[in-house]
Structure 1
Amino acid sequence: MTDRSGSGDEGNQLERLDKKHVFGTWSYQKQVQPTQVVGADGNRFETADGTEYLDVSGQLMCSNLGHSADRVADAIADQARETAYIAPGYTTEARARLGEKLAEVTPGSLSKTFFSTSGTEAVEAAIKIARMYTGKQKIVSRYRSYHGATYGSISVTGDPRRLEAEPGIPGTIKAPDPYAYGSTLEPMESLEYIDEMLMLEGDTVAAVLVEPVVGSNGILVPPAEYLPRLKEIAHDHGALLICDEVMSGFGRTGEWFGCDLFDVTPDIMTMAKGLTGAYAPLGGTIVTPEIADHFEEHMFCHGHTYAGHPVACAAGLAAVETYQEENLIEHAAEIGAYLGDRLEELSAAHPSVGEVRGVGLFRGIELTKRSDRREPFGVRSDKLSPETTVVDEVAARAGENGVYLANMINTLIIAPPLTITREDVDEAIDAIDDALEHADAAMEA
């Protein structure tokens, strides 16, 4: 994923200080050039050199409420003054009310939540819960996936960034993806493969873990019948279904959660990012009553110092109430349809666009250097390479046009705040339209 730099090799004093003393994430440190952000408002942010950017990727697909959610900011300040921290053996109104609110907005019977501080920790909790509940060890996940950076979460991740951390935790198995572009299997054929995998593994698989809509590995939307059938397959083999909604949750798809698109209630669901609109670090792992009841008589052997942090929970409660009261889920569906139409226009105008896909305000543009056989500019190994790709360059050109645009491997990721307007969409499309000229020019004959 490319983070725009733009302050030159030296940077200002603060940027130089940051480079010297702070690790840049997922990067060769010699190439890190931090850019100081001095303010953010609405759907835009400003850097120290005075440049303003329209944020069409929600930073790291997490700023679902934009940069002016005053209700959330006020809730954080009020809670910090009232009770900034209390040990997780106690509770606060914010934690209890947020647990109740999540039981209300999540699908089906999901009802009891463990609160952590990030998406990767939410997945760690899901893995442990699945193993404790079933008494089994193995977790089946998919190759085109990202579930986090901590040891268990990176082990179930398929993204090539896992390679530097291997060998990972025992018992992780990778399955194919519902992704016809670049796979030898059609999406529904990949399900039959998973069915056979579970059969061959015997009664040893605790859970199947998937993103209902794959996020940073390409914005992959499966066929409507995929997720319901996957749940059936998992249950047929005595395994749970875990849905990772860290990126696809809280209105990103035009529904509260990605699995709502398919009318599926998983056994365990993880969340973070949009849970607070990124105003505070908070993750959650919510389970069905059957799983919750298991731990009435069996120890829930998990926890940490900041579980249910009062300030983070206050931010989460205010964020969910903001989604509800400002009708942002409905707005995301409406403006997302408009965004989809505008992206189809770009696809028709640029031969370097191999495919546009997505749902709601969760969209991707996959590029190609050979339109006759859809050959990608970026490949998975590029994720670990210090070299700049054409996809990186397209994102950088969008930045020169005043639009912040994230990318991963071969896909431009468009996941703006749910507060985005039609005028913002049009501005973003104009900038991306110009940036794609670079990709068109780089195509092979």
Structure 2
Amino acid sequence: MASQQSDRNEIERLDREYTLGTWTRQRDFDPTEIVDTEGPRIVTANGDSILDFSSQYVCTSLGYDAERVVDAIAEQASNVPYVAPGWSTEPRARLSKKLAEITPGSLKKTFYSTSGTEANEAAFKIARAYTGKYKILSRYRSYHGATAASLSASGDPRRVAQGPEIQPEVPGMVKGPDPYAYGSSLDPDQSLEYIEEMLQLEGDTVAAVLVEPLVGSNGVLTPPDDYLVRLQEIAHDHGALLICDEVMTGFGRTGEWFASELYDAEPDIITMAKGLTGSYQPLAATTVSEEIAEFFEDNLLNQGHTFAGHPTACAAGVAAIETYEQEGLVENAREIGEYLTSELDALAERHPSVGERRGVGLHQGLELTRSEMERVPFEERSDKVSGRTTVLDEVSAHALDNDVYFYTSVNTIVVTPPLTISETEVDEAVAALEEALEVSDAAMDA
């Protein structure tokens, strides 16, 4: 630790001393200072220019040069930087209308907050009020946020690690299986049948079924084409809503505005954040169908935040959507996503430690394996919170030594670059990954 302290610059030392790091034991918190950004790259204090193939937390979808968004923030901050949510502002009105236009189906009205966690919390309360029921059925391989209800709805290992002595789970959260043939005893059809039986056995108590259309930090799990529509039919047959958590997959990441559209689903509620502003401002949204919105004309929407519909954040949201549209970034994600898919498939063929490539567009993942025959994971789910250095950590560290940043989660290398990415930058990232995967190949069981 002494040598680490001596290697830190003043900002890193202050940050380490006075900031509580997220999702970590503080002895492992040792952040590197970022001093600049350029295109899809971040620049460290010691001058390293790193190609960001994670979009940080799958959120800097516009890269780091979205001038339209920067200008909109500056203009709004100099005009009306903030008013309480009871007042109207042009950015919020324009953003709400735009979200009604680009979201699928009959989604119409939006409630604003500041994070995906809060967007999901709002969705739970809306679904419960609308249906008069209280249970939320989610899935075991999922992540929906860090606050009490959203973490209780998550199947992520971080929920288990929290422990009831620190944060008891919120009542009413039940979990079903995922469409994950690689790591489950059920095939996708059976997982749907299991969820249908759960809804039957829970009685008329489930307000909503909550899913990520493509699971994010729990392995980039990609469902069969008919899965989401069938799930929605099952939910509606039992008087439950379908909530699609598109915090990661919204705003073009899969080559469509929302991943729900890939599967022809029209959710009753969509939650979003991250790409909504490209993370230039913290902003999240919970958008509901016209029917649900009509319910609250005469019923209390018992939900609010000081920063709900923050005008500067909403100005960033409007400008971000205009950037996606005018620069053709959704189409770019589709086209470059096809190229990335083919390159990752070829990479998987060359490296026996890659058990499976999954994903769509620029939402991709490589799951690694110790055994080519038996698909034994290097990393257990509990390792996400164990603090143990895993083979996947070593793989990502090797790529970072070659100035490409990937993050890993639950035995999966997550590949989620900004939507501005080019084929040349894909080639650069794949070359770094090619070399890094030699580490996992060498670690396979004999």
1:415 aligns with 2:416: yes
Structure 2 CA distance for aligned equivalents of residues 207 and 338 of structure 1: 37
The answer for the alignment partner of 1:217 in structure 2 is: 218
Identity %: 61
1:245–1:9 Cα change, 3 Å: farther
Matched residue, 1:348? 349
Q: Could you tell me which residue of structure 1 aligns to residue 189 of structure 2? A: 188
When the two structures are superposed, what TM-score results if normalisation uses the length of structure 2? 0.98
1:440 partner letter? D
1:34 matched residue in structure 2: 31
Which position in structure 2 is the counterpart of 1:294?
Answer: 295
**Does structure 1 retain, via aligned residues, the 8 Å contact 2:5–2:13?**
no
Deviations 1:355-394 (A, max 9, x none): 1111000000100011110100001110120110000110
Amino acid across the alignment from 2:250? G
1:261 Cα offset (Å): 0.2
Structure 1 residue aligned with 2:151: 154
1:328-365 CA deviation, whole Å, 9 max, x = no partner? 11110000000000001110111110111110000001
Gaps of 5+ in 1: 1-5
Partner SS for 2:375: coil
Does the CA contact (< 8 Å) of 1:391 and 1:409 recur in 2? no
Q: In 1, distance between residues paired with 2:442 and 2:46?
A: 30
- For 1:37, the aligned partner's letter is I
Residue 335 of structure 2 is matched in structure 1 by: 334
Q: After TM superposition, what 4+ stretches of structure 1 lie above 3 angstroms from structure 2?
A: 6-10
What is the distance in 2 between the residues matched to 1:8 and 1:29? 14
Partner residue, 1:19: 16
Instruction: Tell me if the contact between 1:154 and 1:165 (Cα under 8 Å) persists in the aligned partners.
Output: no
Q: Offset of 1:188 from its aligned partner?
A: 1.4
Task: Check whether the contact 2:210–2:244 (CA below 8 A) recurs between aligned residues.
Answer: yes
TM-score computed with the length of structure 1 as normaliser? 0.98
Q: CA deviation at 1:165?
A: 4.8
Quick check: 1:9–1:33 contact (8 Å CA) kept in 2? no
- 2:134 maps to 137
The corresponding residue for 2:80 is: 83
Alignment of 1:251 with 2:252, yes or no, is yes
**Would you say how many aligned residue pairs link Structure 1 and Structure 2?**
440
| Structure 2: 5+ residue stretches without partners | none
SS at match of 1:113: strand
Contact conserved, 2:137 with 2:208, CA < 8 A, in 1?
Answer: yes
Instruction: Answer whether contact 1:7 1:35 (CA < 8 A) is retained.
Output: no
Match in the other structure for 1:444: 445
1:1-400 map, 5 Å = 10-163=7-160, 164-166=162-164, 167-400=168-401
Cα shift at 1:8: 7.2
Contact 2:144 2:151 in 1 (8 A): yes
Distance in structure 2 (CA, Å) of the matches to 1:20 and 1:128: 38
Output the amino acid matched with 1:364: G
Give the secondary structure class of the aligned counterpart of 1:207.
Answer: strand
Q: 1:140 to 1:321 in 2, by over 3 A?
A: same
- Residue 3 of structure 1 is matched in structure 2 by none
Residue pair 2:212, 2:244 contacting (<8 A) in 1 also: yes
Q: CA RMSD in A?
A: 1.1
Amino acid at match of 2:236: H
User: Matches of 2:344 and 2:25 in 1, distance apart?
Assistant: 33
The answer to whether the 8 Å contact 2:34/2:45 transfers is yes
Q: Distance in 1 between matches of 2:216 and 2:438?
A: 25
The Cα of 1:412 is off from its aligned counterpart by: 0.4
Distance of 1:261 and 1:130 partners within structure 2: 24
